[in-house]
């Protein structure tokens, strides 16, 4: 469950991403172009301390880009490489925003979604002491497998498209520019193959205006 606040962020999430995205090796679009939100989904942190939100965005007229973020109330030690920036939240105060690929809470959550179809977090707003459901802006679904899930942080993160997260003996591949999910086989269309590795599970998604599912992540 994700409990959200009706709050103001300074800078906004999209303003924060606008200067950060062009420096990524998987960026596509016009540098300096305004960043727009396409859709989003969230995962739960079992400890309830870290926010996990994946934004699907565009820079100008560029393709859809997948950007998972984590929101923390204090800096994450040793994660300066993954820091996107700092925002002021009108309810929660200062929040440190990270590329989720380098945050230890994210690999287990992503693996659970891909390999165990754990789904996305249900989102709520609290209004006058009552919780109101916020309808998701997209749907995601994973595979149901009997594979063990990694329980800890990443051993290695290789940025690119896909961004490869090696954790607990599995290789999680986060597709930064989502591609059609209809392709079968060890290497989905548009995604490079890894020698000797095959797809063990997938996370796919769709949103209004994108009725055909796209590939968001997979395990190989």
- pLDDT digit string, tens, across residues 129-145: 666 776 889 999 999 88
Q: Are 7 and 90 in contact (CB under 8 A)?
A: yes
Tell me the pLDDT tens digit for each residue of 195-218: 556 678 999 999 999 989 999 999
Q: Are 42 and 109 in contact (CB under 8 A)?
A: no
Residue with tokens 């942190």: 45
Q: Are 65 and 86 in contact (CB under 8 A)?
A: no
pTM over 0.85: yes
Q: How far is CA 132 from CA 5, 10, 140, in A?
A: 11, 25, 21
Query: Residues 19, 22, 25, CA angle at the centre, nearest 5°?
Result: 140
């Amino acid at each position: 469950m994700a409990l959200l606040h009706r709050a103001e962020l300074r800078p906004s999430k999209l303003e924060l991403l606008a200067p950060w995205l062009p420096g990524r090796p998987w960026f596509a679009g016009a540098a300096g172009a305004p960043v727009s939100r396409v859709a989003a989904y969230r995962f739960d942190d079992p400890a309830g301390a870290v926010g996990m939100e994946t934004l699907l965005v565009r820079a100008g007229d560029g393709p859809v880009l997948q950007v998972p973020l984590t929101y923390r109330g204090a800096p994450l030690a040793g994660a300066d490489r993954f820091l996107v920036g700092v925002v002021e939240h009108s309810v929660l105060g200062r929040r440190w925003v990270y590329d989720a690929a380098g945050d230890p809470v994210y690999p287990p959550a992503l693996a659970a979604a891909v390999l165990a179809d754990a789904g996305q977090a249900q989102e709520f707003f609290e209004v006058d002491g009552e919780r109101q459901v916020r309808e998701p802006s997209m749907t995601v679904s994973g595979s149901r497998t009997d594979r063990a899930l990694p329980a800890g942080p990443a051993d290695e993160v290789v940025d690119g498209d896909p961004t490869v997260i090696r954790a607990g003996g599995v290789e999680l591949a986060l597709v930064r520019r989502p591609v059609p999910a209809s392709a079968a086989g060890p290497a989905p269309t548009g995604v490079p193959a890894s020698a000797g590795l095959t797809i063990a599970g997938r996370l796919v998604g769709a949103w209004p205006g994108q009725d055909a599912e796209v590939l968001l992540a997979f395990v190989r």
